[in-house]
A and B are shown apart, each in its own frame.
Chain A
Amino acid sequence: MTASSRRTTESSAGTRPGGGPVPLPTPKFASAARSALADTGLRRNLRGATAEARARTSAATAEAADWDALREAGRAIGDATLLNLDVHLEELERGVTGAGGVVHWAVDAAEAREVVTGLVRASGAKEVVKASSATLREIGLDAALARAGVTAYETAIADLVVGVGGDEPSHLLSPALHRDRAEIAELFRRTLPAAADLGDDPAGLAAAARAHLRDRLLRARVAVTGANFLVAETGTPVVLESEGNARMCLSLPDTLITVAGIDKVVPAWADLEVFLQLLPRAAGAGPMTPYAASWPGVTPGDGPRAFHLVLVDNGRTRALADEVGRAALRCVRCSACVNVCPVYERTGGRAYGPVYPGPIGAILTPQLRGVESAADASLPYASTLCGACADVCPVKIDIPGVLVHLRGAVVESRRRRPVPTPELALMRGLAWTMGDARRYETALRRSTRWARLLSRGGRIRRLPGLLGKWTEARDLPAPPAESFRAWWARRRP
């Protein structure tokens, strides 16, 4: 890690997404997960919904006979893109500009917010519609717009649920996953003017959300969206969606502002043939999502008269600098890894922090923000390393490999501290003990004696002190009365 990449994180640390100017302390993963683990209703929702999503993804991927060839192509295109990212970004800029669009660059979340807020202010609009995008959440756009006197309306149904529920999204593609239909019905009855006697049938709930958002979508003058891909060769953003709110955002308002990370670049138009197959199937949307839209800058007589593309770094170049970790930038945000993760299935999305949940969040967030804070440093440990995520990833990101690599980075970053962490002190003690045969044997004899004193019926239920964390969730078998070394020494005098 270079000095300049550390500087990057420090400057963006003060602009934590959603937190406004004063960052709220985020709890470590383990403590943040505690309340979710104790909530049986939430765990039931998560179990049901992730099982549903997993079944759809595996059906869609099993159906494509060339799935592995597609994944391999997706991986290779992703790697080749990153290694030439500067060239592709400049090509993208030329393409968008040539088609009547304007490209803006933002080094961090604060600058991205400033650019978008400035554009909205210049348009004179007092409200904007948004098509759900993790990048918009990442840069904390809503709060910035609110400070500028502009109301931002989410237009995806799940985002509406999160909005009226006043909580944080818990999944990339289905942000209201933590709520079941009865809770959503209750929320809608309480908050939507025309929904006082709504039942809890999902179709009825979707219809109520549609009716509630329709006028807003029809009268909006400015839309802010994300993008799934940015084709460099042709200067074309691409958006995939199911509900149709993004299509309305892309075609009805006068001004369209699209905010996307610099990692969304795809080199050539023909490369879309790979990603338009990978993303829908991995996301469990079947062979194709209901809608995919691409547009070149401004088209006279069709859609917005002004198009702005905001390219956001916000830590991505920091991730790019890490040869192992940069694989995370290949991510196409399909959520397949989230839906198969046994940890996510039990903790839900909110323990992972504000934006990217699940295994991909556990490798992306610490790289975008650095591992200096306790919350970000805890994320690479939020995994059992079972590897299910790597098996389903459509662009073959070795998530467990990157997790282990980042755990190494966390340990390294703590080595510099004046007071060692308990883990480091313990490891140093062990290294000293094991560095000498006699010290080791003495320590072994003593700890065996103590351990046998602590055991009941051949098992140790609770270890003393910090070691007790290990026995919080499991028993330790008592060591045998005679160690192998002692037995060996006795056998051959």
Chain B
Amino acid sequence: MTGGGSRAEVLRRVREALGGSRGTSPPVPRGYDRTLPEAEAATRADVVALFSERVAANRAAVRHVSADELGTAVAAALWGREVKQIVVPADLPYGWLAELEGVRALADAPALDAEALGAVDGVVTGCAAAVARTGTVILDGGRAQGRRALTAVPGYHLCVVHADQIVGTVPEAVRRLDPSRPLTWISGPSATHAIEMVRVEGGHGPLHLEILVVED
């Protein structure tokens, strides 16, 4: 731990630098959209449709399923990617994997080590919230989401979003989230602009992101 000397010195310099203007609070105009304007999404169905459109624009795959088709849809997605072994949060609803055949699912309990995590082909999770305007899913480590490393390492991430988890805008999502939990906002597969600023899918995180929207 560094001495209190530097702490006091930095704070002293800040106060000295600000001088007489310290502590004044100029007003913050917040004229931006807190919710989606009527023109962009008038109904719930429009919000869900906008979400799917934006997810696709982020170069992730998206499909709509009903609650009783979910098990089949999860299995079909995994087969489609030729995924052989997946890791899942220990509290993933049993029904999501009920139709799985030929895919080995490892529950993350006890927690897999990094090497084991590196060896699985994919991961299946739920999410805490989703944002329509940006095509984002947000994980907070809550139910059916697991710890952060589960979705950071495998090459394929299948995320289940319930339609009622989708909010319109970033401000709505920020207000809904709990900052005391570790949060991960995911908008598409991992990408890089390292080479000539050209966007290429495939950095270090999942190369493929697939989203199943469960309509109620």
Q: Which residues of A pack against B, CB within 8 Å?
A: 2, 4-5, 8, 45, 48-50, 52-53, 56, 65-66, 69-70, 72-73, 76-77, 79-80, 82-87, 89-90, 99, 102, 104-107, 111, 115, 155-158, 161, 173-174, 176-177, 180-181, 184, 202-203, 205-207, 209-210, 213-214, 217-219, 231, 234, 236, 242-245, 247-248, 250-252, 262, 269-270, 272-274, 276-277, 284, 286-296, 299, 301-303, 311, 313, 317-318, 320-321, 323, 326
Say if the beta carbon of B52 comes within 8 Å of chain A.
Answer: no
Tell me whether A70 and B32 are in contact (CB under 8 A).
Answer: yes
Tell me whether A48 and B196 are in contact (CB under 8 A).
Answer: yes
Tell me whether B202 and A203 are in contact (CB under 8 A).
Answer: yes
Say if the beta carbon of B42 comes within 8 Å of chain A.
Answer: no
Tell me whether A290 and B205 are in contact (CB under 8 A).
Answer: yes
Min C-beta distance of B14 to chain A, whole Å: 4
Query: Interface SS of chain A: helix, strand, loop or mixed?
Result: helix
Say if the beta carbon of B133 comes within 8 Å of chain A.
Answer: yes
Q: Which of B93-112 contact A (CB under 8 A)?
A: 111
Task: Report chain B residues within 8 Å CB of A77.
Answer: 28
Say if the beta carbon of B168 comes within 8 Å of chain A.
Answer: no
Tell me whether A84 and B23 are in contact (CB under 8 A).
Answer: yes
Tell me whether B32 and A302 are in contact (CB under 8 A).
Answer: no
Tell me whether B182 and A296 are in contact (CB under 8 A).
Answer: yes
Min C-beta distance of B40 to chain A, whole Å: 8
Pick from A79, A89, A156: contact of B14, CB below 8 A: A89
Say if the beta carbon of B44 comes within 8 Å of chain A.
Answer: no
Binds A, one of B80-88, B120-128, B170-178: B170-178
Digitize B182-209: 1 where CB-to-A-CB distance is under 8 Å, 0 elsewhere. Answer: 1111111111111111111111111000
Tell me whether B153 and A105 are in contact (CB under 8 A).
Answer: no
Q: Please report the C-alpha to C-alpha distance between residue A76 and residue B187 in the assembled complex, in whole angstroms.
A: 28
Min C-beta distance of A238 to chain B, whole Å: 9
Tell me whether B182 and A86 are in contact (CB under 8 A).
Answer: no
Tell me whether B2 and A105 are in contact (CB under 8 A).
Answer: yes
Q: Please report the C-alpha to C-alpha distance between residue A229 and residue B27 in the assembled complex, in whole angstroms.
A: 21
CB nearest neighbor in B for A52 = B197
Pick from A73, A115, A272: contact of B30, CB below 8 A: A73
Min C-beta distance of B192 to chain A, whole Å: 5
Q: Please report the C-alpha to C-alpha distance between residue A87 and residue B191 in the assembled complex, in whole angstroms.
A: 38
Tell me whether A65 and B33 are in contact (CB under 8 A).
Answer: yes
Given contacts A83-B22, A243-B190, A288-B135, contact A104 B1 (CB under 8 A): yes
**How many residues does chain B have at the interface if contact means C-beta atoms less than 8 Å apart?**
79
Tell me whether A202 and B182 are in contact (CB under 8 A).
Answer: no
Task: Report chain B residues within 8 Å CB of A89.
Answer: 10-11, 14
Pick from A56, A65, A82, A242: contact of B190, CB below 8 A: A242
Task: Report chain A residues within 8 Å CB of B115.
Answer: 218-219
Query: Interface SS of chain B: helix, strand, loop or mixed?
Result: loop
Say if the beta carbon of B148 comes within 8 Å of chain A.
Answer: yes
Task: Report chain A residues within 8 Å CB of B191.
Answer: 242-243, 290
Say if the beta carbon of B71 comes within 8 Å of chain A.
Answer: no
Task: Report chain A residues within 8 Å CB of B189.
Answer: 290
Q: Please report the C-alpha to C-alpha distance between residue A457 and residue B195 in the assembled complex, in whole angstroms.
A: 49
Task: Report chain B residues within 8 Å CB of A303.
Answer: 147-149, 182
The 10 closest A-B CB pairs, nearest first, are: A244-B205, A243-B203, A158-B194, A317-B13, A321-B17, A69-B31, A251-B148, A302-B147, A273-B171, A244-B190
Tell me whether B133 and A287 are in contact (CB under 8 A).
Answer: yes
Given contacts A291-B184, A295-B183, contact A65 B37 (CB under 8 A): yes
CB nearest neighbor in B for A104 = B2
User: In the complex, which of the residues A53, A219, A269, A302 has the most CB atoms of chain B within 10 Å of its own CB atom?
Assistant: A302
Pick from A49, A252, A293: contact of B196, CB below 8 A: A49
Given contacts A107-B6, A288-B136, contact A72 B11 (CB under 8 A): no
Contacts A157-B203, A247-B205 supplied; 13 other A-B pairs, CB < 8 Å: A5-B17, A69-B33, A84-B23, A106-B6, A107-B10, A158-B194, A244-B152, A262-B10, A276-B185, A286-B187, A288-B134, A291-B190, A320-B17
Task: Report chain B residues within 8 Å CB of A296.
Answer: 179-182
Tell me whether A242 and B179 are in contact (CB under 8 A).
Answer: no
Q: Please report the C-alpha to C-alpha distance between residue A243 and residue B152 in the assembled complex, in whole angstroms.
A: 10
Tell me whether A45 and B196 are in contact (CB under 8 A).
Answer: yes
Task: Report chain B residues within 8 Å CB of A104.
Answer: 1-2, 6
Task: Report chain B residues within 8 Å CB of A66.
Answer: 31-33
Q: Please report the C-alpha to C-alpha distance between residue A317 and residue B1 in the assembled complex, in whole angstroms.
A: 22
Q: Please report the C-alpha to C-alpha distance between residue A303 and residue B195 in the assembled complex, in whole angstroms.
A: 30
Q: Please report the C-alpha to C-alpha distance between residue A155 and residue B187 in the assembled complex, in whole angstroms.
A: 20
